[in-house]
Structures are given as C-alpha cells and as structure tokens.
C-alpha cells in the first residue's frame, strides 16, 4: 500500500532539509549521500527514491532558494508606491530571506560557484534575475533623477555583491539581530547616489 502523497512530499522535504544542513557544513564534494540519508533518518537507498542523484538534489536546493527569494522579493515590492521604496523593499526582502534560510544560504553563498559547473550556471541565473529586477529599478530611478546615472546591470550586481558579503559576514557570526541591516541599506542606497 502506498503512503499518502503528502507523506511522500513531507519525506522529500525532510531529505532536502537534511541535504541543506549537510551541504552547508561539509560542502558539496565532502557531503556524503549516506550522511544526508542518516540525517533524515532514512536508509541510503531511500535517498534515491526521491532524487536521481546527489547532484540533482543539490541543484534542487538552489532552485528552492531561487523560488523563495524571488517570491518574497516580488511580494515585498507589491504595494510600494515609488521606485526608491521598491528598491529598499527588495533589498530588505533578500536580506531577510537569507536570514530565514541559513542552511540554504550557506550552501548557495559558500559552496556556490565552486561546486558543479551546472550549479554555477544556475546560481548565476538566480543572480541575474535578481539583478535584472534591480537594474530596472535603477534605470527608472536614474531616469527620474533620483539616483546617479551609470551602468545599471553592473551596479545591480554590485548591490548583490555587497548584500552577499553582508550575508556572509553575518553567517560567520552566530545568529544575530538584524541591527546591521540598516547599515547595509544605507550603504547601498548611498552607493547608488
């Protein structure tokens, strides 16, 4: 008799959680499938009922973060009156999302590009998506004279890079209040002139 579909999904999530934790700690190559399975309290073979390979699981993890981030950024922008507020909201949403998803964030920020070529590609696409969103804002803001003119795409990436570093800076220090966010936001908004 088959388990209910929801039980299936739950176990998959459990494995993803376990994978995020193990990948975050050990890095992609040094993470063993057996350990992920053990962390999820299932047998090694069970892992392969839910993922075709270790690599696919890893890639799924990023896809997950991808969705969460874009979704939360999009939601945060809804109902923001002007571009500047949208920009601020976007930045805050990214910072908060990574704060909420520490393991996932560690995987993406630390292992990120170094692991698999495909991973690097996918990460880049997440970043590019985000960058495009920001770039549009920047362009619009620049057009309105709100911020200085300049290569929008590059500047969007610089914003992301600074955020990335802010997140890593935090990751290194055990859980923390968000008191630094203000500094980061100020830094970034100034940066854009």
- Show Cβ contacts of residue 127 under 8 Å, excluding neighbours closer than 6 positions: 157, 160
d(CA 10, CA 93): 26
The entry of DNA, a second copy, none that residue 31 binds, CB within 5 to 8 Å by partner kind: DNA
Burial class (CB in 10 A: 0-12, 13-18, 19+), 102: middle
Counting contacts by CB under 8 A, is residue 115 touching a second copy? yes
CB contact at 8 A, 184 and 159:
no
What is d(CA 131, CA 116) in angstroms, rounded to the nearest whole number? Answer: 22
Min CB(21)–a second copy separation in Å:
15
Asked whether position 39 contacts a second copy by CB under 8 A, the answer is no
Among 3, 45, 172, 175, binds a second copy (CB under 8 A): 172
Burial per residue of 128-165, b for 16 or more beta-carbon CB atoms within 10 angstroms, e otherwise: eebbebbbebbbbbbeeebbeeeebeebbbbbbeebbe
Among 41, 125, 176, 183, binds a second copy (CB under 8 A): 183
Contact with a second copy (CB under 8 A) among 73, 118, 166, 178: 166
Q: Which residues bind DNA (CB under 7 A)?
A: 1-3, 7-8, 11, 30-34, 42-49, 52-55
> Contact between 141 and a second copy (CB under 8 A)?
no
162 binding a second copy? (CB under 8 A): yes
Place of tokens 């920009």: 87
- Residues binding a second copy (CB under 8 A): 27-30, 109-115, 120, 124, 148, 150-151, 154-155, 157-166, 168-169, 172, 180, 183-184, 186-188, 190-193
């Amino acid at each position: 008799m088959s388990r209910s579909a929801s039980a299936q999904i739950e176990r998959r999530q459990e494995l993803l959680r376990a994978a995020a934790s193990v990948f975050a700690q050990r890095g992609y190559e040094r993470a063993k499938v057996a350990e992920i399975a053990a962390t999820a309290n299932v047998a090694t073979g069970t892992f392969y009922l839910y993922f075709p390979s270790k690599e696919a699981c890893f890639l799924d993890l990023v896809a997950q973060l991808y969705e969460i981030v874009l979704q939360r950024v999009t939601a945060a922008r809804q109902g923001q009156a002007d571009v500047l507020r949208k920009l601020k909201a976007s930045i805050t949403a990214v910072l908060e999302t990574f704060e909420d998803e520490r393991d996932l964030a560690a995987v993406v920020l630390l292992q990120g590009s170094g692991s698999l070529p495909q991973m690097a590609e996918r990460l880049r696409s997440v970043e590019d998506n985000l960058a495009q969103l920001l770039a549009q804002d920047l362009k619009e803001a620049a057009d309105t004279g709100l911020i200085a003119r300049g290569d929008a795409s590059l500047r969007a990436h610089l914003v992301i890079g600074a955020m990335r570093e802010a997140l890593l800076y935090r990751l290194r220090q055990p859980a923390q209040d968000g008191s630094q966010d203000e500094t980061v936001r100020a830094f970034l908004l100034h940066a854009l002139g």
